[in-house]
């Protein structure tokens, strides 16, 4: 380091100590000036005013509010009513004239028997036809094409059995030409409602009829889950499938 005089500092101990003291003095003055400025000059902090407000609910009956708190604008004062004109004396209503009532028309007298032979003959012919007509036989109850039953007596849930029968009946589509045949299928329903196993218990003798019965059971899977009151994990059902009428 060289001074303005061109001499190099640090060549002697005295010069080095003088340079260190001079540098320390400059740093002390700088730090003191910075502290003085930070303490003397304080920035202004603007604090906005605040107000405390308590919110209350309006009463349900608005008629209890004071006039100043009413939210509806005041109606302008009504103009003064004009003076009422003098009422004229009421005129007497004209009396209605009595009208002559029409005399009731006389009831036609009943025609004596035998006066119109054509009508009597037609009436007798209709009575004979009604008596000779054979009575229609009353239609009996419709035969069920699908009958479902539970294999165990512990399953006492008729609504669930009805649901199984309705779903199998919707998917039952027997082949045409099958007359007087019946097939029985035994299948197992798991807790989730899916069909676990299905087999033919009684064959109808027709391969296509048996396949249609198996297809009706498998197409109906899954059924609704087993009732919560039933403690087993599965239940076996038997279904009889017959031809449609």
Q: What is the pLDDT of residue 2?
A: 55
Tell me how far apart the alpha carbons of residues 23 and 68 are, in angstroms, rounded to a whole number. Answer: 78
Give the torsion through C-alpha atoms of 205, 210, 213, 217, to 10 deg: 130
Closest CA relative to residue 142, chosen from 176, 169, 178, 171? 169
Phi (first) and psi of residue 150, to 5 degrees? -85, 145
Percent of the chain as helix, strand, coil, to the nearest 5: 30, 15, 55
Closest CA relative to residue 204, chosen from 159, 239, 236? 239
pLDDT tens, residue order, the chain (245 aa): 555 655 555 556 777 888 888 999 999 999 998 988 888 876 676 677 777 888 877 766 656 655 555 455 555 556 666 666 656 555 656 565 655 555 555 554 555 555 555 556 556 656 654 555 444 444 444 567 889 998 888 888 999 999 999 999 999 998 887 778 899 999 999 999 999 889 999 988 889 999 999 999 999 989 999 998 888 899 999 999 888 76
Q: Could you give all domains of the chain from N- to C-terminal order, each with its CATH number?
A: 146-242 (3.30.1150.10)
How many C-beta neighbours within 10 Å does residue 147 have? 16
């Amino acid at each position: 380091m060289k001074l303005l005089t061109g001499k190099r500092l640090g060549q002697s101990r005295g010069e080095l100590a003088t340079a260190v003291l001079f540098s320390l003095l400059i740093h002390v003055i700088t730090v003191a000036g910075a502290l003085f400025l930070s303490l003397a000059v304080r920035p202004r902090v603007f604090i906005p005013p605040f107000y405390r407000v308590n919110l209350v609910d309006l009463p349900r009956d608005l008629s209890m509010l004071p006039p100043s708190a009413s939210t509806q604008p005041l109606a302008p004062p009504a103009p003064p009513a004009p003076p009422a004109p003098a009422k004229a004396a009421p005129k007497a209503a004209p009396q209605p004239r009595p009208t002559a009532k029409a005399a009731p028309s006389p009831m036609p007298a009943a025609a004596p028997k035998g006066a119109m032979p054509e009508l009597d003959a037609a009436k007798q012919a209709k009575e004979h036809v009604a008596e000779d007509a054979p009575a229609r036989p009353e239609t009996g109850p419709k035969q069920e094409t699908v009958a479902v039953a539970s294999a165990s007596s512990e399953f006492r849930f008729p609504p669930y059995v009805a649901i199984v029968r309705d779903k199998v009946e919707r998917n039952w589509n027997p082949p045409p030409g099958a007359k007087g045949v019946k097939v029985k299928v035994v299948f197992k329903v798991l807790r989730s409602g899916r069909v676990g196993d299905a087999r033919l218990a009684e064959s109808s003798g027709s391969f296509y009829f048996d396949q249609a019965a198996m297809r009706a059971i498998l197409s109906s899977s899954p059924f609704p889950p087993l009732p919560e009151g039933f403690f087993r994990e599965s239940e076996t059902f038997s279904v009889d499938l017959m031809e449609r009428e």
